[in-house]
Structures are given as C-alpha cells and as structure tokens.
Amino acid sequence: MNWDDLRETPHRRRNPLLREWVLVSPQRMQRPWLGQVAKSAVAPSIKYDPDCYLCPGNARAQGLRNPAYKATFVFDNDFPSLLPNVPDSKVEKDGLLVAQAERGICRVVCFSPRHDLTIPRMKPEEVRLVVDVWAEQYRELTALPWVQHVEIFENHGVLMGASNPHPHCQIWANGEAPNIPVSEGAAQSEYLQNRGKCLLCAYLGLEIENRERIICENEGFVALVPYWAVWPFETLVLSRRHVSNIMGLNENERDNLADILRRLTIRYDNLFETAFPYSMGFHQQPEDRKEHPEWHFHAHYFPPLLRSATVQKFMVGYEMLAGPQRDITAEIAAARLRDVPELHYLERA
C-alpha cells in the first residue's frame, strides 16, 4: 500500500514528538459538508473597558493598580497556581502515593493597552514588542537557579477558558519540567541519538520538499499542519534555524516570529470569520544548565473549532478511553488555511 491509498483509508499516524498515535478517518470526509459558516461577533468593540482588570490604569481583582502602560505590561499573577517559596518536601508510599512540593512563578503578559485588539489585529511592530517581552521574561526566569522549565502560553477565547478578552498570555516557570515537554525532549534525544540529526530539522526538511501541509512561511519560520495533528486545525510553527529557545533567535528571526504568528492567526480568524479560539504555547529546551542539541524551538496551536464558528471538536468517548481520532485530514486542513487571505476580515473595506 502506498500513501495515495492511505489518503482515503482509515489509518493511524505517529506523532514522533510524543511517540503516540492518532487515528485518521478520511473516508468520513466523503459525507456531505453539513456545516454552514456561522458567524459570531465575539471581538469586543471598545478600546478601553473600565471593568477590565488588564486595561491600563485599572485596579486588578486583589486591588493592585495597573500602570498607564503604552505597549506591553507584565505582572505577577494575583492568583498564581505556583508559589516561589515552598518547603522542599516529598512523600512516597509503595510507589503509589507519590507527591513532592513544587516551586514556581506565574506571570501575566498584556500584549497591548487596547482592550479590543488581538495578535492578528495588532501591527507587526507591536507583535514584535510582545516577542521581545517573551524573550526578556524567558531570560529573567531561567536565570533563577531553581527554575527548570518556562512555559509561555496563551488561552485565547471563551471556548478555551480565557477569563478576559483583553489580549494577554501567561508564563509559568517551574522547579520541575512538566510532562509534555519532557516527553518531547525524550523523543528528540532518541531521534538525535539513533539518526544523528535533529528530529524537527529533519521533519521540516520533508515538509518543505512536499509542501502539502505548509500554510505560510517567511525567512525564519514555517507554519504548517503537522502530519500527526489531532485537533482539526492544529498547527506547528517551526524555526528554520536550529535554536533551542527563544533567546537563540536573532533580531531578524524575532521579526519573523512576530510576522508568522500574526499571519497564521489572521488566517485562523478568516477561516470562519470569527475570533478563532485556541490554546497556543512555545516548547523550549529544559533549563537544567546542560546543553540540549536535540531541542528545536517551536510553537503549537491547538484550536477546538471543527467546521464553523460554533461547531467544536470534543475530545470525549473514544478519545478519553483509547486515543485521539480525526476526520478531516491534515492535508485538507492545511489547504483550507492556505486558501483564506492574509488580510483580516475585520480590516476589509
């Protein structure tokens, strides 16, 4: 059997970063397209909301007041999931009841003073300032001797549980590396050891040769639907150059990163003409003061929408009990994202 046979046959694809499988059922795509393009006007229309705890000059929930910031603004989360000073303690019982204290710092980054903007609607130079803040926060947090991992992530849209439409992301720095980066690190180490090359450099090479899953690109980055995508319009943003964290990017690449994130999210918004919800975040090397030649800097976007602004994919049933499954193939998802323009629908005349 060759690849063309698999295009219409139920098959499973392997995620080499997690070393897990996803079930693909492309034959289900042959059923008629039932989804109408429902529009939902989600974007806030006011530039300043006196009730928003992230707008400049406003008081936050615990009473601290935001400065009259003009570009970006970073603050320690008032309701942090992790605390920097916890006693070092562990418990273990028969290898079954195992726990240990975890140190961490949680921050919130406001992308813009404007309440109504989002990354796809900000100017390239404004998104570049956000990239600079991410790099600066990464440098500052990884300089703390006990920090082992820094996760920069954005929950975007009510559907993803974001508590506020004001454009913002979160940063959590931990004393222990979390599960998913640990799994991806182990897979990248194994690949480098067995094949003598970086897993994601090699993967990007294949995608550039094939082009079928590439959505958009620039000098420094490529945005694509990974071969093993689970979410319908899941994407992966890969740096062309092998760098293992955001601090490894040069000036041009920081501009390129801002550009690719902006263009990709414009395409997302244009797909269903809605403020497209997603969770996104960066995966970077463990910060254990060791060399990590296996690690390739990248970002994942996990959006829940399936076929309209109101129809979402739920990871339930088979997915909770057995494993992930998708109908629309990665190739079709990439073609649909490629087919929408890069001018945001709200900016059209």
Q: Which helix (H) or strand (E) holds 311?
A: strand 311-312
Collapse the DSSP code of 239 into the 3-class scheme (helix H, G, I; strand E, B; otherwise coil) and give the result: strand
The identity of residue 233, as a single letter, is: F
The Cα–Cα gap between 225 and 328 comes to 12
Does 112 bind ligand H2U (CB under 6 A)? Our answer is: no
The Cα–Cα gap between 156 and 165 comes to 8
Q: Closest approach of Cβ 55 to Zn ion, in Å?
A: 3
Contacts with ligand H2U by CB under 6 A: the residue count is 12
Does 57 bind ligand H2U (CB under 6 A)? Our answer is: no
Distance of CA 1 to the CA centre of its chain: 34
Does 155 bind ligand H2U (CB under 6 A)? Our answer is: yes
Q: Closest approach of Cβ 305 to Zn ion, in Å?
A: 24
Which parts of this chain interact with Zn ion (CB under 5 A)?
Answer: 49, 52, 54-55, 115, 166
**Tokens in use for 148?**
């082992």
Residue 54 or 122 with smaller CB distance to Zn ion: 54
CA dihedral of 117, 310, 224, 270, whole degrees rounded to 10: -50
Nearest to 10, CA basis, from 329, 333, 235:
329
**What x-and-dash track marks residues 60-99 binding ligand H2U by CB under 6 A?**
xx---------------xxx--------------------
Q: Closest approach of Cβ 48 to Zn ion, in Å?
A: 7
Residue 100 or 163 with smaller CB distance to Zn ion: 163
Q: Closest approach of Cβ 103 to ligand H2U, in Å?
A: 18
Residue 15 or 174 with smaller CB distance to ligand H2U: 174
| Residue in 115, 168, 283, 300 annotated catalytic | 168
Q: Closest approach of Cβ 145 to ligand H2U, in Å?
A: 25
Residue 15 or 155 with smaller CB distance to ligand H2U: 155
User: Checking phi first, is residue 211 left (phi over 0); if not, alpha (psi -120 to 50) or beta?
Assistant: left
Rg (CA), the chain: 21
52 binds, among ligand H2U, Zn ion, none (CB under 5 to 8 A by kind): Zn ion
168 is catalytic: yes
The Cα–Cα gap between 135 and 121 comes to 22
Q: Determine the interface stretch with ligand H2U among 15-23, 159-167, 171-179, 306-314 (rule: CB under 6 A).
A: 159-167
- Asked if 141 and 148 count as a contact pair (C-beta separation under 8 A), the reply is no
**φ and ψ of 32, to 5 deg:** -60, 150
Handedness of CA 28, 33, 36, 42 (dihedral sign): positive
Residue 161 or 293 with smaller CB distance to ligand H2U: 161
Chain positions contacting ligand H2U, by CB under 6 A? 53, 60-61, 77-79, 108, 155, 162-164, 170
Catalytic residues: 168
